[in-house]
């Protein structure tokens, strides 16, 4: 059983006269942390670096052998829940194998808030089966996937309509799967579990559905190519993007991925379908709350919020060596109290700083992520992030 973790990302652009950096950790591309099954290593790298399509790939590897999974979000820039959920999944611990996450696959479309890029390309039509990808970005993403040769691929999307057996009417609230009986059974089981645990409105129940055949539209989808060219168990998850709060849609996506990865043995038993917490520095013997009370009712999650002193904005100028205070006091818990404030400095590693406030001294240029995790007295957690971006 796992606590639900929510997170948000924000960016503070800080312009300095020359040298600025994050506190006790500069930009980190690899680190190790502890999960229940042992140590995990975390690393990240950039594809399409130096172009508007530049995006980061996050890799978590457990010391226990196991399968490899790839999770992708943001292929369409107007499908917010998919790339928001993928950003959270990039932080998950795993118990075995390797988890590769590309949260913002189509950075240009995300920036535009559109389905396509500046040239009108739909990225999810650029992966023809048996042929090279159709664009440089598609090629870079496919190179990552073939490099890791995953056992399972999960692509997160949204739709303005609900799937009822005909993709032309909308594909929301669906989990699409490859041709194998095992994939079909898994998709059906996950759709049922997520519906039972997380969906109140019966009209919004999740349904499984098969991929379209190679001769039928739509074609060129990433998951189709992964299933048919690599033999991966591939799944495409769709939530309804209209009339449902973003946080609810994100929760659906994370619960779907949690169930799929539990089925692939990267995670321990999924229990009630709740997504895993980020247990980087939790004691192995620490009891884990599943976020429900004694009667099985889900409690309200806390909200993490980072503020800074001085208050930073896009036009803020910091002097080299200046110290910024990161403040978690605006965080809250609607049905209890916060018992821990934990900080992570750098883009990987553990939440190894504690306290309601911490001071960060800036000393080098670059992008320096900061994450705050708050935990309440019921064991539920929330994460907020910001990035201190510095430029000469």
Q: pLDDT for 254-294, tens place per residue?
A: 999 999 998 665 665 544 444 554 433 332 222 233 333 33
The DSSP string of 290-344 is -SB-TTSPBPPPPB---EEES---TT-EE-TT-EEEEE-TT-B-TTS-EEEEEEE
Residues 248 and 209 in one domain: yes
pLDDT in the model for residue 313: 63
Tell whether 242 and 358 lie within a shared domain: no
Q: Check whether residue 242 and residue 312 sit in a common domain.
A: no
130's CB contacts (< 8 A; 6+ apart) are 228, 229
**What is the pLDDT confidence band of residue 375, given thresholds at 50, 70 and 90?**
confident
* Domain assignment present for 308: yes
Whole-number pLDDT of residue 268: 58
Q: What is the mean pLDDT of residues 290-300?
A: 42
Asked if residue 197 and residue 114 are part of one domain, the reply reads: yes
Bigger pLDDT: 379 or 328? Answer: 328
235 and 383 part of one domain: no
Residue 312 lies in a domain: yes
Q: Does residue 253 lie in a domain region?
A: yes
Q: Find tokens 């992570």 and name the residue.
A: 344
Domain assignment present for 392: yes
Asked if pLDDT for residue 135 goes beyond 50, the answer is yes
* pLDDT of 25 higher than 80: no
One domain, residues 347 and 200: no
* Highest mean pLDDT of the ranges 8-17, 40-49, 222-231, 347-356: 222-231
In a domain, 111, yes or no: yes
195-208: per-residue pLDDT in tens? Answer: 998 898 999 999 99
14-23, 57-66, 117-126, 213-222: lowest mean pLDDT where? 14-23
- Does 160 score more than 90 pLDDT? yes
If asked whether residues 80 and 144 sit together in one domain, one would say yes
379, part of any domain: yes
Share of the chain above pLDDT 70, in %: 74
Please tell me the predicted confidence (pLDDT) of residue 149.
96
Report the domain count for the chain. Answer: 2
**216-225, 306-315, 354-363, 364-373 — most confident range:** 216-225
C-alpha torsion sign, points 204, 206, 207, 212: positive
Sign of the four-CA dihedral 354, 355, 356, 357: negative
Q: To the nearest whole number, what is the mean pLDDT of the chain?
A: 79
Average pLDDT value for residue range 11-23: 29
Q: What is the rounded average pLDDT of the residues 51-75?
A: 95
Q: Look-up: residue for tokens 């109290």? A: 337
The answer to whether 386 and 12 are in contact (CB under 8 A) is yes
Structural domain boundaries enclosing 382:
1-32+296-392
> Over the range 135-174, which residues count as b (16 or more CB within 10 Å of their CB) and which as e?
bebbebbbebbeebebbbbbbbbbbebbbeeebeebbbbb
Both 146 and 60 in one domain: the answer is yes
What's the CATH number where 24 sits? 2.60.40.10
In this structure, the answer to whether residues 252 and 337 fall within a common structural domain is: no
């Amino acid at each position: 059983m796992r606590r639900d973790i929510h997170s948000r990302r924000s960016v503070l652009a800080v312009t300095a006269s020359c040298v600025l950096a994050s506190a006790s950790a500069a930009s980190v591309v690899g680190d190790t942390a502890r999960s229940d099954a042992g140590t995990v290593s975390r690393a990240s790298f950039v594809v399409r670096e130096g172009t508007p399509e530049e995006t980061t790939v996050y890799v978590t590897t457990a010391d226990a052998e196991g399968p490899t999974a790839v999770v992708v979000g943001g292929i369409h820039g107007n499908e917010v829940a998919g790339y928001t959920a993928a950003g959270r999944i990039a932080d998950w611990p795993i118990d075995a194998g390797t988890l590769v996450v590309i949260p913002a696959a189509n950075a240009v479309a995300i920036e535009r808030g559109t389905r396509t890029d500046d040239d009108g390309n739909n990225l999810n039509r650029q992966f023809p089966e048996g042929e090279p990808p159709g664009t440089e970005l598609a090629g870079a993403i496919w190179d990552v996937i073939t490099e890791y040769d995953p056992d399972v691929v999960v692509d997160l999307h949204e739709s303005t309509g609900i799937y009822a057996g005909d993709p032309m009417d909308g594909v929301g609230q669906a989990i699409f799967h490859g041709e194998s009986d095992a994939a079909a059974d898994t998709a059906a089981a996950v759709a049922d579990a997520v519906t039972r645990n997380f969906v109140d409105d019966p009209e919004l129940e999740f349904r499984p559905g098969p991929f379209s055949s190679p001769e039928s539209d739509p074609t060129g989808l990433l998951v189709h190519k992964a299933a048919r060219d690599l033999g991966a168990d591939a799944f495409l998850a769709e939530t309804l993007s209209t009339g449902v709060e973003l946080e609810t849609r994100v929760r659906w996506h994370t619960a779907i991925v949690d169930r799929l990865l539990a089925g692939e043995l990267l995670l321990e038993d999924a229990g009630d379908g709740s997504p895993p917490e980020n247990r980087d520095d939790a004691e192995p013997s620490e009891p884990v709350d599943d976020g429900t009370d004694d009667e099985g009712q889900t409690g309200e999650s806390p909200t993490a919020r980072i503020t800074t002193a001085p208050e930073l904005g896009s036009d803020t100028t910091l002097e080299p060596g200046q110290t910024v205070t990161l403040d978690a006091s605006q965080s809250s818990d609607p049905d209890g109290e916060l018992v821990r404030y934990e900080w992570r400095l750098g883009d990987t590693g553990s939440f190894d700083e504690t306290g309601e406030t911490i001071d960060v001294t800036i000393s080098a240029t670059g992008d320096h992520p900061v994450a705050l995790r708050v935990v309440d007295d019921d064991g539920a957690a929330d994460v907020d992030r910001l990035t201190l971006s510095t430029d000469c």
